[in-house]
């Protein structure tokens, strides 16, 4: 079935139509300097073909997310792990969903690796799901650069390989690449050469004009026309367009980009002195934004002291049992003189025990003390508060200590927490608190605790101990560990399906990533 997509009008006023079925077999390359109307052309093509073919848009600036409201595209935030993106891409092909992969706010290296993982996921889908699909890539020179630059070699190779697969081998898998670039000289030749349809917009540099002229088969003198093209005007050629170069003008679109074209507007009517005050005086919002990182740093410093989720027993098992028995004997002797009656309700006794644990864990060194030592301290507090019985049992103390160090109250042990506690019983005693610390972060969808916090919870000062604990638990099938393109971890609790979240992308994190990349490039130089 032939479907004619209305792109606009030719220079003679006739309809400029694109054969969608032919495009799926021959691919399309759009070239034009910034402001020539490339993104507008892509939007017109995607809008007019949305009802006929599945679409995926690689969107580095977040301009195409507006298609979601009008045409039902699913917006996929690329700030995920490689495995997540690959799984999403597989489900996209399976369910024939049109999507916009937004890379807005990500560092350049991360954008390249995200696009590579997503495209590879589409490419590697099962043969049963090889349905026809348009893959539109805006600013394609970012993902298929002609030469190595400021990007890491690993990111460049991954992204270039995925783009080459899309343009060279994607046809048999139903993938039709539609790529747009500002400059042909910046785009890898292996990627550009696989397109059979071309839409060439306004171009000023001689090298780009000559390459555009060579691709559409016009002489050097004819290449000068590219300088005179107005915004939204292109020269079209290809089996899905016209058999000879024809100037066309792109028609209007139903949706618009969030950024849009710059528009002049009047200057603010503010007195110079008042304007100077606005510029030179720090606002309340800025002061609050500067205070937030300081509060986060303070929270990180307090975490080992306030929560201290786990502990390492430094004594041997035999020694620990002996000390425990001695402690229990002393406790029995010490409480013999206490009043047998206790008029407090169970809730009041539980609150008293909670208060004891809170007092004990305020000590920063509590994370590094053996359990028997802590148990003796606990019994001392119990004597002062005239508590004895089930609350002072050694086994109950061990379980309660693990929960308290994970920041879990007694009420939280109901329901799914009971399953977490049961699973943790398969781990060595010194690792159980660390596991529940991870479970608590995953349940609250917080970020994964750093290596230092995991090591402290285990009773070690070495961050490498935290990485070992994660590897140990993953090998024993208790957790799943994935990393995103920045090395941030996502930990899944397999028994419950809880997952930690990735840290939010901020200007500070982007600056840190750029600094690390600059240092890496300096070392290579």
Sign of the dihedral through C-alpha 144, 194, 9, 245 = positive
Sign of the dihedral through C-alpha 121, 123, 126, 129 = positive
Q: Give me the pLDDT at residue 517, please.
A: 64
Sign of the dihedral through C-alpha 315, 319, 323, 328 = positive
The partner residues of 175 in beta bridges, in order of sequence, read 133
Residue-averaged pLDDT of the chain = 80
Both 221 and 324 in one domain: the answer is no
Decide if 286 is inside a domain.
Answer: no
Both 492 and 400 in one domain: the answer is yes
The partner residues of 181 in beta bridges, in order of sequence, read 31
Q: Give me the pLDDT at residue 210, please.
A: 77
Decide if 230 is inside a domain.
Answer: yes
Both 239 and 308 in one domain: the answer is no
Cβ–Cβ under 8 Å, residues 439 and 485: no
Per-residue pLDDT tens digits for 158-183: 999 999 999 999 999 999 999 999 88
Decide if 478 is inside a domain.
Answer: yes
Angle, to 10 degrees, between the axis of helix 108-123 and the axis of helix 82-95? 40
For residues 9 and 139, what is the distance between their CA atoms, to the nearest angstrom? 25
Both 220 and 319 in one domain: the answer is no
For residues 194 and 316, what is the distance between their CA atoms, to the nearest angstrom? 68
| In the predicted structure, residue 333 carries a pLDDT above the cut 50 | no
Per-residue pLDDT tens digits for 48-95: 999 999 999 999 988 899 999 999 999 999 988 888 999 999 999 999
Decide if 267 is inside a domain.
Answer: no
Per-residue pLDDT tens digits for 402-440: 666 666 655 455 567 778 878 887 887 778 878 888 888
Both 200 and 109 in one domain: the answer is yes
Decide if 102 is inside a domain.
Answer: yes
Q: What percent of the chain clears pLDDT 70, i.e. is strictly above it?
A: 78
Both 237 and 312 in one domain: the answer is no
Task: Give the distance, in angstroms, between the CA of residue 289 and the centroid of all CA atoms in the same chain.
Answer: 22
Q: Per-residue DSSP letters for 75-95?
A: EEE--S-HHHHHHHHHHHHHH
Q: Which helix (H) or strand (E) holds 37?
A: none
Q: What percent of the chain clears pLDDT 90, i.e. is strictly above it?
A: 29
CATH number of the domain to which 73 belongs: 3.40.50.300
Both 122 and 9 in one domain: the answer is yes
For residues 414 and 423, what is the distance between their CA atoms, to the nearest angstrom? 14
CA dist 256 → 39, 62, 67, 201, 268 (Å) = 10, 12, 8, 20, 27
Look up residue 283 and give its two tokens.
Answer: 């606002």
Q: Give me the pLDDT at residue 341, please.
A: 59
| In the predicted structure, residue 309 carries a pLDDT above the cut 80 | no
Decide if 270 is inside a domain.
Answer: no
For residues 24 and 132, what is the distance between their CA atoms, to the nearest angstrom? 7
| In the predicted structure, residue 226 carries a pLDDT above the cut 70 | yes
Both 98 and 236 in one domain: the answer is yes
Q: Which helix (H) or strand (E) holds 341?
A: none
| Nearest CA-CA partner of 140 in 209, 192, 99, 63 | 192
Both 307 and 245 in one domain: the answer is no
Decide if 201 is inside a domain.
Answer: yes
Look up residue 201 and give its two tokens.
Answer: 């917009």
User: How many residues can be counted in the chain?
Assistant: 525
For residues 462 and 456, what is the distance between their CA atoms, to the nearest angstrom? 8
For residues 172 and 170, what is the distance between their CA atoms, to the nearest angstrom? 6
CB atoms within 10 A of CB 192: 21
Overall number of domains in the chain: 2
Q: Give me the pLDDT at residue 380, please.
A: 82
| In the predicted structure, residue 47 carries a pLDDT above the cut 60 | yes
Per-residue pLDDT tens digits for 103-153: 988 888 899 999 999 999 999 999 999 999 999 999 999 999 988 777 788
Q: How confident is the model at residue 392 (pLDDT cuts 50, 70, 90)?
A: low
Q: What strand order describes the sheet that includes 133-137?
A: 15-19, 4-10, 246-250, 233-237, 197-200, 28-31, 175-181, 133-137, 54-59, 99-102, 74-77
Both 478 and 367 in one domain: the answer is yes
Q: Which domain holds residue 102?
A: 4-250
Q: How confident is the model at residue 327 (pLDDT cuts 50, 70, 90)?
A: very low
Q: Give me the pLDDT at residue 6, please.
A: 93
Q: Give me the pLDDT at residue 101, please.
A: 95
For residues 447 and 455, what is the distance between their CA atoms, to the nearest angstrom? 16
Both 242 and 329 in one domain: the answer is no
Q: Give me the pLDDT at residue 57, please.
A: 95
Decide if 513 is inside a domain.
Answer: no
Both 190 and 315 in one domain: the answer is no
Phi, psi (degrees; rounded to nearest 5) at 112: -65, -45
Sign of the dihedral through C-alpha 477, 483, 489, 494 = negative
């Amino acid at each position: 079935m032939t479907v004619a997509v209305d792109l606009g009008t030719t220079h003679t006023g006739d309809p400029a139509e694109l054969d969608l079925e032919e495009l799926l077999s021959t691919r399309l390359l759009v070239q034009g300097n910034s402001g020539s109307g490339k993104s507008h052309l892509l939007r017109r093509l995607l809008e007019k073909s949305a009802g006929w073919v599945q679409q995926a848009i690689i969107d580095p600036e977040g301009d195409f997310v507006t298609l979601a409201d009008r045409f039902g595209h699913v917006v996929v935030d690329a700030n995920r792990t490689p495995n997540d993106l690959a799984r999403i891409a597989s489900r996209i092909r399976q369910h024939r969903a049109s999507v916009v992969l937004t890379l807005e706010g990500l560092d350049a290296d991360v954008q390249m690796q995200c696009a590579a993982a997503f495209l590879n996921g589409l490419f590697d889908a099962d043969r049963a799901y090889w349905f026809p699909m348009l893959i539109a890539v805006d600013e394609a020179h970012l993902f298929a650069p002609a030469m190595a630059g400021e990007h890491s070699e690993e990111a460049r190779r991954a992204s270039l390989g995925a783009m080459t697969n899309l343009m060279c081998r994607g046809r048999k898998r139903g993938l039709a690449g539609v790529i747009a670039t500002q400059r042909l000289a910046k785009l890898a030749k292996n990627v550009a050469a696989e397109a059979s349809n071309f839409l060439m917009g306004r171009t000023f540099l001689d090298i780009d004009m000559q390459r555009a002229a060579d691709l559409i088969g016009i002489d050097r003198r004819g290449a000068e026309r590219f300088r005179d093209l107005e915004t939204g005007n292109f020269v079209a050629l290809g089996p899905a367009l016209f058999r000879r170069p024809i100037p066309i003008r792109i028609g209007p679109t139903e949706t618009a980009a969030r950024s849009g074209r710059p528009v002049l507007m009047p200057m603010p009517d503010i007195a110079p002195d008042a304007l100077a005050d606005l510029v030179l005086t720090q606002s309340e919002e800025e002061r609050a934004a500067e205070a937030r990182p300081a509060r986060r740093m303070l929270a990180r410093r307090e975490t080992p002291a306030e929560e201290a989720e786990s502990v390492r027993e430094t004594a041997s098992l035999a020694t620990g049992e002996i000390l425990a028995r001695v402690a229990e004997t002393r406790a029995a002797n010490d409480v013999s003189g206490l009043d047998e009656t206790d008029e407090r309700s169970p809730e009041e006794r539980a609150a008293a025990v909670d208060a004891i644990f809170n007092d004990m864990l305020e000590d920063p060194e509590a994370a590094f003390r053996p359990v028997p030592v802590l148990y003796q301290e606990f019994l001392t507090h119990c004597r002062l508060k005239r508590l004895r019985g089930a609350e002072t049992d050694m086994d109950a103390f061990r379980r309660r200590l693990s929960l308290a160090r994970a920041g879990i109250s007694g009420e939280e042990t109901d329901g799914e927490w009971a399953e977490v506690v049961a699973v943790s019983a398969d781990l060595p005693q010194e690792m159980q608190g660390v596991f529940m610390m991870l479970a608590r972060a995953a349940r609250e969808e917080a970020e994964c605790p750093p290596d230092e916090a995991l090591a402290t919870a285990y009773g070690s000062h070495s961050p490498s101990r935290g990485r070992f604990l994660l590897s140990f638990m993953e090998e024993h099938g208790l957790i799943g560990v994935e990393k995103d393109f920045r090395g941030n971890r996502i930990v899944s609790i397999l028994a419950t399906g809880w997952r930690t979240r990735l840290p939010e992308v901020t200007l500070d994190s982007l600056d840190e990533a750029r600094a690390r990349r600059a240092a890496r490039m300096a070392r290579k130089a």
